[in-house]
Amino acid sequence: MKEKIERIQNMLKKHNIDAWVVFSHHSYDIHSKYLLQKWVSSPALVVISQDSSRVVISAMEAMMINHQAYEVHAYKKGSEMKENIGKIMKSFPDGAKIALNFVEADDALDMMNRDIIASGTKIALMKFNEKLQYVSAKNLIFDIRSVKTKKEISNHKEAAKLAEELMETVVESMIKPGMTEKEIAALVEYECNKRGGVAFDAIVAAGSHAAIPHHEPGEKKIKNNQVLLIDYGVTYKWSNSDITHTYWIGSNPPEEVLNAYEAVDQAKEAAYKLIKAGVLSSDVEAAVRAKFEEFGYDPEKYFIHSTGHPLGIETHDIGIGIRRAYPDSPSKPLLENSIVTVEPGLYFENKFGIRLEDDCVVTKEGSIRLSNTPKKMKCLDFK
C-alpha cells in the first residue's frame, strides 16, 4: 500500500498538485477503494498530499484501515466528521492546489467516469477552505489508472487465469439444460467470489438473448441447440478480468453459427496483429471491421459496439481502449503497459449472438495475451 501511495505522491509532484482529496460515500468513488484497499460504507475522506496520507472515517470502520499507511481521523457522528474534514482542509497553506474528482462541464459528458464528486458535496468541501485552489483530478486519474504497475499487471494475469480456470474446471461441466440463465450466473459468480471477487454482474444469455450485448440473466431455461454466451470476470487484488465465451449447447452447431464464430475469432486475430504500444486505437478498430466485411457481415449492422475498453480497478477503466475515431473525438495511440479487452461480436436480433472477449497487456513489441477463448466453438453436449 505504501508503494501505491508513493507512486501517487510522485505523480502529484509531476502535476504540480499539493494534494488529491477523494471524498467517498458508500464507496461510490472507486478511488477510495483503490487507496484504502477496503470497501467502506460510511462517508470517508482520503487525502494524499506530497508528504502525507490521511483519512477521515467512521469509528465503525477505522479499525479496517492500515494505520501504517494512513493517519486515521475517526468520527462517531456527522458533526465530528465535518470537524475532522474541516481540520484537514484548513491544514493546507493558502493557495495550495487541491485536486478533486470532478470534470469541468464542457468535458463532463465525455469523461463521466472521472466526474465523480456529487455537485453539492463538491461545493460543501470547497467551503471548508475557500483560500485553496481546486482543480480537476482528471489528468492525475488518467496517469494513475491508464498505465499499470508491474504488480497490477501481475494481478491482471492472475485474474484472467483464475477466470479461465473456473470455467474449464467447474462451470462448463455443471451447465445442464433446464438451468436458468440466472442460476448459471449465480454459479459463475460463486466461483469468481471463491477465487477473489466478482468483477461485474455476469451476463448469461441463451439463444436469442445472446443478441443483446448487455442482457440481464433471467428465468429463461437453457436448452439444447442454442448458443450460450457468458461474460464474466474475476477481481483479484482489485484488478479485474473480463472474458466472454460463446458456447453451443448440443453437438452440432448450424453453419450460420459456425460462420459467425469464425468471423469473430478472425476479427479478434486481426486486432491482435496490430495491437502494440503507439499504434492508433482506430487502426485496430478498422481492422476488426474490415475482417467482418470480408466475411460478408456489415459491421454497421451486426457489430454494435467497439472492439475493446481499458481494464483495471473498474471493468470499464480509464485509459485508451480500441474504438473508432470521430471528428469530435479523435483516436489516440495505445499505451505501453495498459490492459485492454479485445471483444468483437456479431449480433443477429431475435436469432443469436456471438462475442469472444479476451484481455491483453499492450507492450512495446505487441501484446501479451492474458486469456484465450477457443478458436473453435466449444460444444457443451448433454446427450
**Contact positions vs a copy of itself (CB under 8 A):** 25-26, 28, 38-43, 59-61, 63-64, 76-79, 81-82, 102-110, 112-113, 115-124, 127, 182-183, 185-187, 189-190, 193-194, 201, 212-216, 304-305, 316, 326, 328-329, 349
The residue among 108 and 280 lying less far from a copy of itself, judged by its C-beta, is 108
**Least distance to a copy of itself, CB of residue 170, Å:** 12
**Least distance to a copy of itself, CB of residue 265, Å:** 21
Contact 214, 201 (CB under 8 A): no
Give the Cα separation of 233 and 13 in Å (integer).
35
Give the Cα separation of 3 and 7 in Å (integer).
6
The residue among 45 and 377 lying less far from a copy of itself, judged by its C-beta, is 45
User: Contacts by 51-60 with C-beta closer than 8 Å and gap 24+?
Assistant: 51/9, 53/5, 54/88, 56/81, 56/84, 56/85, 56/88
**Least distance to a copy of itself, CB of residue 322, Å:** 15
Give the Cα separation of 84 and 224 in Å (integer).
61
The residue among 69 and 186 lying less far from a copy of itself, judged by its C-beta, is 186
Give the Cα separation of 197 and 191 in Å (integer).
9
**Least distance to a copy of itself, CB of residue 155, Å:** 16
The residue among 55 and 377 lying less far from a copy of itself, judged by its C-beta, is 55
The residue among 59 and 379 lying less far from a copy of itself, judged by its C-beta, is 59
Closest to 234 in 3D by CA, of 262, 202, 203, 205: 202
Which of the 8 DSSP states describes residue 357?
Answer: B
Torsions phi, psi for 75 (to 5 deg): -125, 150
**Least distance to a copy of itself, CB of residue 166, Å:** 12
The residue among 61 and 358 lying less far from a copy of itself, judged by its C-beta, is 61
Q: In what side-by-side order are the strands of the sheet with 358-362? A: 339-342, 358-362, 367-369
**Least distance to a copy of itself, CB of residue 60, Å:** 5
